[in-house]
Amino acid sequence: MAKIVTQEQQEQRMESCVVVELITGFSIVTVAVAVLALLLATVVDAQDKYSLKSPSGIAFSDFRGYEDWAMVSSARTDEVLKVILANPTMIAAYKAGAPGNGQLFPDGSMIVKVQWKPKKSTEAPFVVDVPDVFTQAFVMEKDSKRFPKTGGWGYAVFNYDAPSGKFTADSKSLSDCGNTCHTAVKSKDYIFHPYEMR
């Protein structure tokens, strides 16, 4: 009789171990699926801005990595603080003397004006405006075949909505939206800002 009870207890223990192993395995799979879903959602969200295109077809993805491009210059209006960034192709042209040497920027040149609403610094011991809310990325790209009517430059605006953390293509932004303004500097290949000394 004792042998039968011991055998039953061993079988129950084995069944218990199998159940525990199944639950543990299921828990690991559930956690792995949840982590994978979170990573996928993060990747999709991070790629969201690069899926945008302006009404004229200028893709934000053309400017991928602009956050790390070299600074050309900065500017300030009453409403906006701006930092002007350029891709390596354009920086090389600037360093070779364009546009002051009579050379135009080559196709593939790209520039991004990142823009913020300003605020007064609460930390500096002097009066200074600092970036507050990021508002938009104004982009330009040189492609003489795509934009022959505007000196080879295409223009677009991608607005940023801080509460949602999302970019949107400006629906009023046509490929020549910035050309009217930039025509004033046609002799400098439509670019206002020189590469500033540093």
Q: What is the 3-state secondary structure (H, E, C) of the chain?
A: CHHHHHHHHHHHHHHHHHHHHHHHHHHHHHHHHHHHHHHHHHHHHHHHHHHCECCCCCEHHHHCCHHHCEEEEEEECCCCEEEEEECHHHHHHHHCCCCCCCCCCCCCCEEEEEEEEEEECCCCCCCCEEEEEEEEEEEEEECCCCCHHHCCEEEEEEEEECCCCEEEECCCCCCCCCHHHHHHHHHHCCCCCCCCCC
The domain covering 60-188 belongs, at the CATH homologous superfamily level, to Cytochrome P460 (3.50.70.20)
Residue 185 CB neighbours (<10 A): 13
- Enter the pTM of the model: 0.73
* Cα–Cα distance, 147 to 145 (Å, whole number): 6
pLDDT of residue 38: 45
pLDDT of residue 177: 61
* Cα–Cα distance, 155 to 5 (Å, whole number): 84
* pLDDT averaged over 10-residue windows placed end to end, the chain, 198 residues: 60 57 49 42 59 90 96 93 97 94 94 96 94 95 95 94 93 70 91 90
Boundaries of every domain in the chain = 2-48, 60-188
